[in-house]
Amino acid sequence: MKSANFSNLSTLVLWVCMVISLAAFGLLIWALLTVPDLLETTALEIWMDWLYILLAISIVVTIALALFQFMRQWKDHPKFLFQPLIGTGILVAILGGSYWLGKGNPLDISGYEGSENTYYWLKLADMCLYTIYILFAVALAAVFVGIIGSYLKKNR
């Protein structure tokens, strides 16, 4: 029953964010069609700010629901308490390892005058890319193990 409440809450947050996003996107399109010079000014900045707000909402809701589920599991099944901690530890290890793998050397880009060509941002971008590569490889391995496992079960 409590699991359904978490599911209902996350579904509600999803639908509210989608409706607001569609309305904001419609307003952006209407504004761009009405005032063509608006693309280089505030409309795009407002849209990008809304995307950052959506990202923050999704991160906060995900972490909050994971903590609530962890505390409920701690109360109901204390001997299975370490399973979420193992998954979190593996995720932290992947993020730490991919951050360690990242270079961070400033890039020589002709004509670029931005402030993001620094050690921190380049290291963070490399961390994101390496994390995607690692998680993709793990997902592929899981698919192949599942296919081979089901094939072996059928042929017994």
16-61 tens-digit pLDDT: 888 888 887 887 777 777 776 666 667 677 777 888 888 888 888 8
Domain boundaries along the sequence of the chain = 1-78, 81-156
What stretches of the chain show up as alpha helix (H) in DSSP? 2-34, 42-76, 82-101, 119-154
pTM of structure: 0.57
Burial of 127 (0-12, 13-18, 19+ CB in 10 A): buried
- Using the predicted structure, report yes or no on whether residue 95 has a pLDDT greater than 80: yes
Tens digits of per-residue pLDDT, 128-143? Answer: 999 999 999 999 999 9
CB 73 within 8 A of CB 81: yes
